[in-house]
Amino acid sequence: MHRRVTERHVESATVVTSLGTGTEDVEFRLSARGTERFNALVRTVGLGGRAAVVVDGVVVRAPRLETTEFQGRGIVSGLDVGAADRLARRLNRS
């Protein structure tokens, strides 16, 4: 199975401010196919492993995976305002 998830698999992405840290986060929702692909990635990488978030060929984050079963929604956290805005716009370009 191909384990790559792209912006084509994203149904929506929104910038929100984290109440705990005050940093910007991007909340996203994947399609059913994107969820399948993400879960395949999680099984390969494993709990606690990292998955790169790549935008236009540049790694913007490599978050630690905190679950082994993804339900179609996720958060990329700890971004500054500009990075969060760019990521959300790119993900919504599908």
42's enclosing H/E stretch is helix 32-45
Tell me the per-residue pLDDT of 13-61, one tens digit each, with 9 for 90 and over: 999 998 888 889 999 999 999 999 999 988 889 999 998 888 778 887 8
Taking the C-alpha atoms of residue 24 and residue 12, their distance in angstroms, rounded to an integer, is 16
Give yes or no for a contact between 76 and 5, defined as CB atoms under 8 angstroms apart: no
pLDDT of residue 8 exceeding 90: no
What dotted CATH number matches 7-91? 3.30.1360.200
Burial pattern 48-70, b for ≥16 Cβ within 10 A else e, equals eeebebeeeeeebbeeebeeeeb
pLDDT at 54: 80
Asked if pLDDT for residue 11 goes beyond 90, the answer is yes
Show me where the domains of the chain are located. 7-91
